[in-house]
Structure 1
Amino acid sequence: MDITLARTFLEIVASGSFVRAAENLHITQTAVSARVRTLEEHLDAKLFVRNKAGATLTHAGEQFTRHASMLVQVWERARHHVALPPGRESVITIGCELSLWDPLLLDWLLRMRTSAPHLALRTEVGLSHDLIERVAAGTLDVAVVYAPQLRPGLRIELLLEEKLVLVTTRASATLHPEDYVYVDWGPEFAAQHGLAFPHLVNAGVSAGLGPLGREYVLAAGGTAYFRLQVMQKYLDSGRLHRVRGAPEFLYPAYAVFAEGADMSVVAPALEGLRAVTQVAPAAAVAPVAPDVTRPSPSA
């Protein structure tokens, strides 16, 4: 079967619409419909029911979803195997969300270099939605993201229960709005931050990337929210201080991989991620939306 048919089917499932699938695939809606008809002829079953709201799966379509995902993954795995570097048995490709890659990806690469020398390593950084789409399409083995959406055929495992804390270069450890730096940690953080600090919505300086905001604050001084584990060394050295009484925001990291993934390749990658995030192996869990919690008086 033409692998393009399976990819088109999965895109319709993900977008819920022939129209949106055509836009995402950069083809006409007529081409999408033609591919679905060809696929239905191959399977001798109707896969979608189309209506004004979009397209919903039939029972046969639901049954085929997992197989389509596996077809794409097997094809992509075969392509990777054909072009293996000398001395490597397989390839593992991992993608990390922009706000989470530093220092996780470097730590993972260093560990995998010694713990899994038989694997060729590929790393990428991108947006959560795009990374998860690629896992579903079979072009990415593992995605590390903050707030993954559940999708058919994918597994989600909690890696790190990180939190965002307010830190400052001021020895007084108090918040001064004039030197506040807003770091964009995503829409969930933005919503909760707006409720907690409505007067800081329009900060004088904003950074769309955590490492950029961190280096700015360390160089110029100021106050901002950062991931606690990344900033702990600066807190320990006294270069930064926790702002007293400031709320904390949960910022967990999840690993997303396909149910039908080749675990001989994915398992070592997950073990490496657990090791560098210092989390013991756990069962796959559903994502939990971040929440605002108040630190204890001693925090």
Structure 2
Amino acid sequence: MDIRVFKTFIAVAENKHFGKAATNLYITQAAVSARIKQLEEFYATQLIIREKNNLRLTPSGESLLAHAYLMVSQLEQSKLSISIANQQKIAFNIAATPNVWDAFFSYRIHEAIEIFENVALGTEISVLDAIQRKLDDRTLDVGLLMDPIKDDGFSNELIGHFDLSLVGSRANFDKEVEDYILVDWGITFHKEHALHHKVIPSFKTSTAMIALEVMLSKGGFAYLPTEFITEQLNSKTLFEIDAPVQIKRPIFMVYKKSNNNKELINQFKRLLLTIQ
């Protein structure tokens, strides 16, 4: 049944006049009569009593009026909901571990915002276990990690590297220093670090930003991303130390193979590969 038929029935019931209903609906009076007749034939009952200068609803018409209001209201609400849904942006959520954020993604987030201007982009900093869990339950689309997720359900794509430099608030460094800060740069880093350094850390942290703040306020030494401390090296606030090993850390873009946002994932991958 055409919803316009119910709108016409409501207009007749409210105005108690076919002519006024026709005027309000911008249709002819004949069209109003035809629609009411269509309703009465559909329900096989009289809905309106037409008397000279007196139009009133039958008991069946009174019963139908409440349903007519509800149907018209629900239709308008559904149109509004669909309109809002059409205007909503597709969500695309990215997470990085603290050090990947500091060393890599914080310098590239502006490009990501520009390329995803028609997408509701969400970003967060989290630990590897939480990122894996959220990728698994699809509340995240992409994780940026230094170590891949070893699970057949995930894709791990190498999209870049960053260099780590041993830097300090003083130019001289040896294993006797008492203000070494150990930053967590992942499993591979810990293995390489244990082979080449016997220094005992006085402070441990999972983020380069915290290590830098401690070094600038209290002094000390740490492995930090070279790109992250360029300004401090140039101003001689920090000094680069000759390290026994040159450390380069990988960045993996990790996502569920079953993720439905494959096109956005590919766009994000192309972006990261472009702005190395």
TM-score bracket for this pair, using the shorter chain length? 0.5 to 0.7
Distance 1:268 1:100, change over 3 A: same
Match of 1:206, as an amino acid? Answer: K
What's the CA shift for 1:245?
4.2
Instruction: Tell me the residue number matched to 1:265.
Output: 264
Question: Which residue of 2 is the match for residue 205 of structure 1?
Answer: 203
**What is aligned with 1:129?**
129
| Cα distance between partner residues in 2 of 1:133 and 1:192 | 28
Relative distance call for 1:112 and 1:244 in structure 2 (3 A) is: closer
Q: Secondary structure at the match of 1:162?
A: strand
What corresponds to 2:239 in structure 1?
241
Q: Which runs of 5+ in 2 are unaligned?
A: 1-81
Deviation of the 1:275 alpha carbon:
4.1
Quick check: 1:168–1:240 contact (8 Å CA) kept in 2?
Answer: yes
Partners of 1:166 and 1:246 within 8 A in 2? no
Q: 1:179 to 1:117 in 2, by over 3 A?
A: same
**2:252 is matched by which residue type in structure 1?**
Y
Whether the 8 Å contact between 1:135 and 1:258 is mirrored in structure 2 is yes
**AA matched with 2:143:** A
Structure 1 equivalent of residue 224 of structure 2: 226
Name 1:274's counterpart in structure 2. 273
Deviation at 1:141, TM superposition (A): 0.6
Alignment partner of 1:251: what SS? strand
Q: 1:190 to 1:233 in 2, by over 3 A?
A: same
- SS of 1:157 mapped into structure 2: strand
1:114-164 per-residue CA deviation (whole Å, 9 max, x = no partner) reads 222100011122122331233233221100001113322322111222232
Calculate the aligned-residue CA RMSD, in Å.
Answer: 2.6
Query: Counterpart of 1:163?
Result: 163
Percent identity over the alignment is: 22
* Distance in 2, Cα, partners of 1:274 & 1:108: 11
Q: How far apart are 1:85 and its partner, in Å? A: 8.5
The alpha carbon displacement at 1:104 in A equals: 3.9
Amino acid at match of 1:139: T
What count of residue pairs does the alignment treat as equivalent? 192
Give secondary structure in 1 for the equivalent of 2:178. helix
Q: Residues 183 and 207 of structure 1 are in contact (CA less than 8 Å); yes or no, is this contact kept in structure 2?
A: yes
Counterpart-to-counterpart distance in 1, 2:100 and 2:85: 28
Q: TM-score, normalised by structure 2?
A: 0.61
Alpha-carbon distance between aligned partners in 2 of 1:240 and 1:214, rounded to the nearest angstrom: 10
For residues 111 and 218 of structure 2, the distance between their equivalents in structure 1, rounded to whole angstroms, comes to 33
Q: Report the CA distance shift for 1:205/1:85 in structure 2 as closer, same or farther (over 3 A).
A: farther
Residue of structure 2 equivalent to 1:58:
none
In the alignment, the residues of structure 2 paired with residue 239 and residue 96 of structure 1 have an alpha-carbon distance, to the nearest angstrom, of 28
Partner residue of 2:251 out of 250, 253, 258: 253
What's the CA shift for 1:110?
A: 1.8
Deviations, residues 66-99 of structure 1 (Å, cap 9, x unaligned): xxxxxxxxxxxxxxxx9x8985531100111122
> For 1:116 and 1:241, how far apart are their aligned partners in 2?
38
Alignment of 1:1-299 (within 5 A): 87-102=87-102, 104-170=104-170, 172-175=171-174, 177-198=177-198, 200-201=199-200, 203-261=201-259, 262-276=261-275, 278=276
The CA distance in 1 between the partners of 2:187 and 2:262, in whole Å, is: 33
Are the aligned partners of 1:97 and 1:145 in contact in 2 as well (CA < 8 Å)?
A: yes
- Secondary structure (helix, strand or coil) at the match of 2:244 reads coil
**Matches of 1:105 and 1:273, distance apart in 2:** 9
Could you tell which deviates more after superposition, 267-276 or 111-120?
Answer: 267-276
Tell me the secondary structure at the aligned position of residue 244 of structure 1. coil
Q: What displacement does 1:103 show?
A: 5.6
Task: Tell me if the contact between 2:164 and 2:225 (Cα under 8 Å) persists in the aligned partners.
Answer: yes
- Residue aligning to 1:54: none
Give the aligned residue type for 2:203: V
Letter in 2 for 1:135: L
What runs of 5+ residues in structure 1 fail to find an aligned partner? Answer: 1-81, 279-299
Asked whether the equivalents of residues 96 and 124 of structure 1 are also in contact (C-alpha less than 8 Å), the reply is yes
Structure 1 residues 244 and 122, CA, compared in 2 at 3 Å: closer, same or farther?
same
Q: Is the 8 A contact 1:162 1:250 kept in 2?
A: yes
Residue in 2 that maps onto 1:30: none
Q: Report the Cα distance in structure 2 between the residues aligned to 1:194 and 1:130, rounded to whole angstroms.
A: 27
Offset of residue 211 of structure 1: 0.9
Going from structure 1 to structure 2, the CA distance change for 1:88 and 1:272 (only over 3 Å counts) comes to farther
